[in-house]
Amino acid sequence: MIISFLHGGFTLNSYGLTLLSLLTHWTFVPPLINSSWKASDSDPCSWFGVQCDRKQNLISLNLNSHEIFGQLGPEIGNLYHLENLLLFGNNFSGKVPSELSNCSLLEKLDLSENRFNGKIPHSLKRLRNLKSMRLSSNLLTGEIPDSLFEIPSLEEVSLHNNLLSGNIPTNIGNLTHLLRLYYLYGNMFSGTIPSSLGNCSKLEDLELSFNRLRGKIQASIWRISSLVHILVHHNSLSGELPFEMTNLSEVGRMNNKFNGNIPPNLCFGKHLLDLNVGINQLQGGIPSDIGRCETLIVFQ
């Protein structure tokens, strides 16, 4: 139900009042928004960046790349029908509001390339319909909450280029059928790569470069048949280089502590385009079979 209020002689519904309340937390508002978000306009569904459904419920707020400065106020939690919140590439700062968890229908959340700081709220676990969470390129700190991987619908998690630390939660394996993209590079994660990651049977991209990870990459991860890209540059990972998968097109393991020989069956699947294993502790020579890699473009 949409509640309407009389505001300056015009009837403005609760969505419009919420948006105007959000404006009070912004120190710079671009002209496109200033000229559109008006209390005198009783239809917020026509406001810039706003999309509503047939019932006039506000379902999408798309303000990507508009140089907005300020904070994301707690009023965002009043947009109960919101499905998409897209604020990529602005100058938002402060905490990610825990009130976001009230937006129970949210499917896409993109707060990347801002200046959000503090910890990822545990309350986000209540977003049971969330498919894509992009919080990359901010100033977020602390550990990834275990509860984040209790969201059964997640398909994409992007947390790269923050100041996150601690271990990667072992319950990442809970996302057995739904996780397809996973970006954690450019943080300060330590410990080992959880073997439970091998349960993510639809995983296509694994990017964990520029962290402090150690230990071996478990065989269960290499056996994910859908995995296409694996990038783990600049960690302290060790062990031999298993090559049990046939669909990989890009493998980046430069600057680690991998040892043993380069596997002779590199091009078994005939998909490999880019192999970078430099600055490790590998032994032996380049396998003669490398000449059979018809698709290989880069080998370092």
Q: Could you tell me the pLDDT band of residue 5, with boundaries at 50, 70 and 90? A: very low
Helices (H), the chain: 14-23, 31-34, 219-222
- Which of 27-31, 146-150, 261-265, 286-290: highest mean pLDDT? 27-31
Closest by CA to 204, choosing from 237, 219, 182, is: 182
What pLDDT sits at residue 300? Answer: 45
Which pLDDT score is estimated for 174?
A: 86
User: Alpha-carbon distance 254 to 276, whole Å?
Assistant: 6
Residue 49 has pLDDT above 50, yes or no: yes
**Rounded Cα gap, residues 292 and 250, in angstroms:** 17
Q: Where are the chain's structural domains?
A: 1-142
Q: Please say whether the structural domain 1-142 has been given the CATH code 3.40.50.150.
A: no
pLDDT over 60 (residue 40)? yes
Q: Give the pLDDT band of residue 185 (cuts 50, 70, 90).
A: confident
Mean pLDDT, rounded, for 105-133: 97
What is d(CA 235, CA 62) in angstroms, rounded to the nearest whole number?
A: 36
Angle in degrees, CA 7, 13, 14, rounded to 5: 105
Local structure of 274: helix, strand or coil: strand
Q: Which two tokens stand for residue 153?
A: 């619908």
Kindly indicate the confidence band of residue 31, based on its pLDDT and cuts at 50, 70 and 90: very high
Beta bridge partners of 108: 84, 132
pLDDT value of position 230? 80
**What pTM value is reported for the model?**
0.86
Residue 276: both structure tokens together: 């970078």
Instruction: Take residue 204 and report the two structure tokens written for it.
Output: 């296509």
